[in-house]
Structure 1
Amino acid sequence: MKTRIMLSLPLLAIALPAAAQEVNVYSHRQPELVQPLFDAFTKETGIPVNVAFVDKGMVERLVSEGDRSPADLVMTVDIARLSQVVEAGVTQPVTSEVLAANIPAEFRDPGNQWFGLTSRARIVYASKERVADGEVTTYEDLADPKWQGRICTRPGTHDYNLGLMAGMIAHHDEAAAKAWAEGVRANLAKKPEGGDRDQVKSIWAGECDISLGNTYYMGAMLADPEQKDWAESVRIIYPTFENGGTHVNVSGVAMTKAAPHRDDALKLMEFLASDEAQAIYAEINHEFPVKPGVARSELVQSWGDFTADSVNLGELARLRPTALKLMEEVNFDG
């Protein structure tokens, strides 16, 4: 009887199918921005990537799914959103010599819970016709009354602007940051709404003269025949904080605690930090690679250079609730 059992074990092992190779990603990023990366990964490894675009409620979804979640990785923008996923307890630390070597320490979590993949600057789009060189040099300039009725922006409570507000708090204090937000609000040409590209359209239409935006939208607009004229009506200015550099944020990735395909997911994470993937980010998404030695695209290089602010990304995430509170107190979007 014992012999029959021993003989049946290898037969059972042979009969069991191997776990399917694949990676499931919950992405806050638009599918067209990440699909070229996944296609390149699948071509190189043969491992398919399934993407679910989750615009809102990603944390709530992962918490609800718990250990049953099909998601292996989470990809999102903004350090605050990365931190929120980690703080919800739905991610796991990842130890990888490749990630440690390719991603500088300032672009990854000290506990290896999240890893930055690209960076982007929060800049000023300025009308070529109505704004002279040197009129805007700092973020603090935006509160100057000379800009009254001349500024457009997306909502102040959007994560991109809250990141900038957090930087203002870090460089000054809450009172000074609140006064700055009040000053910018007083200079708005219209109620904050829409996205960064909508603000550039407003400049083109003569509704305002300057706007806040992320760098990579310039590349997206230039590639869109309907938006090319908007883009060509403005130039990019890299403001700095009065006592710092240009505000920079990240897009990044984290592995979920459930991760049913952990090994394949790690391969994808390491691929996203490779020269090939970082170059795809640079050329297609017009973002700044985080891997040292990978060049920005020629288009992005043509926008000039800047000195990134030195405030720690984790500090920006920590200050986000305060930034939101202050924006609401001044009724920025009202």
Structure 2
Amino acid sequence: MTLRAVLLASGAVLAAAPALADVNVYTTRQPELIQPVVDAFTEATGIAVNLAFVNEGLVERLVAEGARSPADLVMTVDIANLQQIVDAGVTQPVDSEVLEAAIPAELRDLEGHWFALTKRARVVYASLDRVADGEVTTYEDLADPKWKGRICSRSGLHNYNLALLSAMIAHHGEDYARQWAAGLRDNLARKPQGGDRDQVQAIWQGECDISLGNTYYLGQMLADPEQQAWAQSVRLIFPTFEDGGTHVNVSGIAMTAAAPNRDEALQFMEFLVSPEAQAIYAEKNHEYPVVEGTKLSDLVASWGELNPDRLSLSEVAGHRAAAVRIMEEVNFDG
């Protein structure tokens, strides 16, 4: 059975690529977000990359395929997803001086099973008209009753919010995090719903004054004529933990245990942390590079300085089960 037949049989949707490729990637990210760096890699090396978009059931697919999997690499977003793939036993450690030198220790698995490629900050979107400068400074402050009826949020059980709560546990412990989650719940203007951009629309409509969201959504909204007015009604605020920095999550990559084209796959992984690839990510996707010194896009730079929290994302992922339990205990989603 050809690679294309295997991928089609598994339900993956192929991006435009040759039927047989030197590097085969399963990705939960839309292929068009990755294609610019793929094209640059192929131009530089002559190695083709075959992208298969796997929207759901990625771990289950890799487990089912086992040693027969055609996938060399997995690209996904959020530390929880990366850790879930590792915990399923379908990855292998990668020993690379290039990756270790380029990526800070807190943004990669110390045993080499996953590596961050880009950063996205979990920040506050604030109404230009109804929120004063300096009114929000910390994540802890969001549980203050002064915000009652003024906050919009997506589900507390979404990975992005669970990661933030996991970081809160890491900083302050479960008891404090439970009180914080309950306080944030009490300050909601409406039942959690929609995605991060829907919260910004609600601010524009006057339903709430602030919301939590990932930074890159501002770039996406500004590029969409139907959503530009939402984006122009808010500004980004970079809150920090009282004893840390701004919470960041990542997109990342892992090599599968099967990896039929390991050498070529490693070349692609190392290319993704090159100055060229990091600059493409920064410009096209409105994300923060993981490699220090990479120039930000003009738009991202205009948002202000990011002081990222230095917690290890592996530690954050270790608190996910407790974060889920707390969100359910406080009935965050109502």
Provide the residue aligned with 1:12 in structure 2: none
Name the SS for the 2:24 alignment partner.
strand
RMSD in angstroms over aligned alpha carbons?
A: 1.2
Q: Name the residue aligned to 2:48.
A: 48
1:25 partner SS = strand
Q: How many angstroms apart in 2 are the aligned matches of 1:195 and 1:33? A: 19
SS at match of 1:252: strand
- Corresponding residue number in structure 1 for 2:295: 295
CA distance in 1, matches of 2:282, 2:310: 22
Alignment of 1:111-260 (within 5 A): 111-260=111-260
Aligned residues of 2:98 and 2:270 also touching (Cα < 8 A): yes
SS of the counterpart of 1:110? coil
- In structure 1, what is the Cα distance between the partners aligned to 2:146 and 2:53? 42
Residue 311 (structure 1) aligns with: 311
- Give distance in 1, aligned partners of 2:80 and 2:152: 23
The 2-side partners of 1:137 and 1:111 are apart by 35
- Mapped partners of 1:292, 1:184: distance in 2: 33
Aligned match of 2:69:
69
Q: 1:45-97 CA deviation, whole Å, 9 max, x = no partner?
A: 22222222222221111111101111110111111211111111100111222
Specify the structure having the higher radius of gyration (Cα): 1
CA contact (8 A) 2:105 2:312 kept: no
Given that residues 21 and 264 in structure 1 are in contact (C-alpha distance below 8 angstroms), is that contact kept between their aligned partners in structure 2? Answer: no
- 1:126–1:235 CA contact under 8 A, matched in 2: yes
Distance 1:324 1:21 in 2: 39
TM-superposed deviation, 1:100: 2.1
1:15-41 CA distance string (max 9 Å, x none) = xxxxx6521111111222212111222
Amino acid at match of 1:67: A
- CA deviation string 1:253-274 (max 9, x = no partner): 0000011111221111111111
TM-superposed deviation, 1:131: 0.7
Aligned residues: 315
Residue type at the aligned position of 2:33: L
Matches within 5 A, 1:261-300: 261-300=261-300
Report Cα offsets for 1:213-236 as digits up to 9, x if no partner.
011111111111111111111000
After TM superposition, give the deviation of residue 135 of structure 1 in Å.
1.1
Residue type matched to 2:54 in 1?
Answer: V
* Whole-Å separation in 1 of the counterparts to 2:84 and 2:272: 22
Q: Which amino acid aligns with 1:90?
A: V
Classify the secondary structure of the residue corresponding to 1:130. Answer: coil
Q: Does 1:331 align with 2:331?
A: yes
Gaps of 5+ in 2: 1-19
The Cα of 1:43 is off from its aligned counterpart by 2.2
Partners of 1:269 and 1:241 in 2: how far apart? 32
**What SS is found at the alignment partner of 1:66?**
helix
Alignment partner, residue 83 of structure 1 = 83
Aligned mates of 1:185, 1:57 — CA distance in 2: 30
Aligned equivalents of 1:300, 1:177: Cα separation in 2 = 30
Matched-pair contact (CA < 8 Å) for 1:154–1:195: yes
Q: Provide the rounded CA distance (Å) in 1 between the counterparts of 2:193 and 2:56.
A: 18
CA distance in 2: counterparts of 1:62 and 1:114, whole angstroms: 16
Stretches (4+) displaced over 4 A: none
TM-score, scaled relative to structure 1:
0.91
Contact 2:71-2:260 within 8 A present in 1 as well: yes
Deviation digits for residues 110-136 of structure 1, max 9, x if unmatched?
111111111111100000011111111
Q: Give the residue type in structure 1 aligned to 2:99.
A: L
- CA-to-partner distance for each residue in 1:250-293, whole Å, 9 max, x for gaps? 11100000111112211111111111100011001111111122
Matching residue of 2:9:
none
SS at match of 2:34: helix
The CA distance in 2 between the partners of 1:50 and 1:247, in whole Å, is: 33
